[in-house]
Amino acid sequence: MFINREIAQLILLQRNELTNPTLQKIRKIFGRRFFTKFVSKYFISPKLIGNEYLSLMKNEYDIVSKFLDFDKKNVLSIGSGLCGLELIIDRNHSIKKFSIIEKNYVSKKVVYGWDNKNYEAYNKLSLVESFLINNGLKKEKFEIFDFDSKKLPDKDFDIIISLYSLDYHYNFDVYLDFFKKVFKKNSKIIFDTIRADYFTNLFDSVKIISSNENTVHKSKRIICEGIKL
Ligand SMILES: C[S@@+](CC[C@H](N)C(=O)[O-])C[C@H]1O[C@@H](n2cnc3c(N)ncnc32)[C@H](O)[C@@H]1O
């Protein structure tokens, strides 16, 4: 897997579980600001982070692929981080196109909690693009949208995926109006939440597909179909 220090830093900030006990100790002693700016960049092994990230993403693929048929589908990824999952999906299926919505900045101090205002972000879209291309995803197979530019994709999606992003760090409502435009009858969405029951008000079908007890919040991963308009 092609990876460099800047990309490994973002991956570490996006995936808290890759922060090993030594790094956690440094974070505790020197604070989150110092950790985010220096430690996460210079105290890491990009190769090791790359390998661990790949194996995390393979696990995620094993979970979601049991419930989704990706072939010839338009896939929307929300808060996809570096898009390791999308690379694995692409290697195993013939996707129509990925649309990716992310934010294009790194918060000064990564907090990993519920972010009421949805200000927290840890991504750089130019690096996502080079990571995807250098790892074999063709330019014409994906499109990246900056959430804050307010220009979001304008087409229907078969599949929407948001792992540890939508309704895990920020409220589902941020995307509700947009979803009402891009969902079609058989569209499916998978995301992580601590309030699975709430979504029975919004969708015709809500199924829990896995439980994540080791994460910051004890969340469930759910798959929903049939958005109520
Ligand atoms: C915890 S990371 C998860 C990344 C990736 N899904 C994964 O599983 O490795 C959450 C991601 O959500 C992104 N994010 C925050 N607000 C967002 C928004 N409104 N729309 C899209 N992405 C957002 C952050 O920049 C960050 O990359």
Range of the domain at 108: 70-227
Instruction: Count how many domains the chain has.
Output: 1
| pLDDT value of residue 215 | 67
CA distance 50 to 160: 25
Q: What percent of the chain has pLDDT over 90?
A: 83
> Residue whose CA is closest, atom 22 of ligand 1?
79
Does residue 213 belong to any structural domain of this protein? yes
Q: What is the pLDDT of residues 35-79, one digit of tens each?
A: 888 888 988 999 999 999 999 999 999 999 999 999 999 999 999
> Residue whose CA is closest, atom 24 of ligand 1?
121
| pLDDT value of residue 214 | 73
11, 55, 60, 102, best to mutate for ligand 1 pocket (most atoms within 8 Å of CB): 102
Does residue 54 belong to any structural domain of this protein? no
**Tokens 């600001």 sit on residue:** 33
**CATH assignment at residue 209:** 3.40.50.150
Find the helix or strand (DSSP H, E) in which 178 lies: helix 173-182
Does residue 100 belong to any structural domain of this protein? yes
Q: What is the pLDDT of residues 70-129, one digit of tens each?
A: 999 999 999 999 999 999 999 999 999 999 999 999 998 877 789 999 999 999 999 999
Q: What is the pLDDT of residues 15-31, one digit of tens each?
A: 988 989 999 998 989 88
Does residue 140 belong to any structural domain of this protein? yes
CA distance 67 to 34: 40
Average pLDDT, the chain: 94
Flag whether pLDDT at 216 surpasses 70.
no
101, 149, 165, best to mutate for ligand 1 pocket (most atoms within 8 Å of CB): 165
| pLDDT value of residue 199 | 98
Does residue 13 belong to any structural domain of this protein? no
CA-wise closest residue to 83 among 68, 69, 98: 98
What lines the ligand 1 site, CB under 6 Å?
A: 14-15, 78-81, 101-103, 118, 121-123, 147, 163-165, 169-170, 174
Does residue 137 belong to any structural domain of this protein? yes
Does residue 127 belong to any structural domain of this protein? yes
Does residue 214 belong to any structural domain of this protein? yes
Q: What is the average per-residue pLDDT within 170-199?
A: 96
- Residue 131 Cα to ligand 1 midpoint, Å, equals 16
pTM: 0.95
| pLDDT value of residue 119 | 94
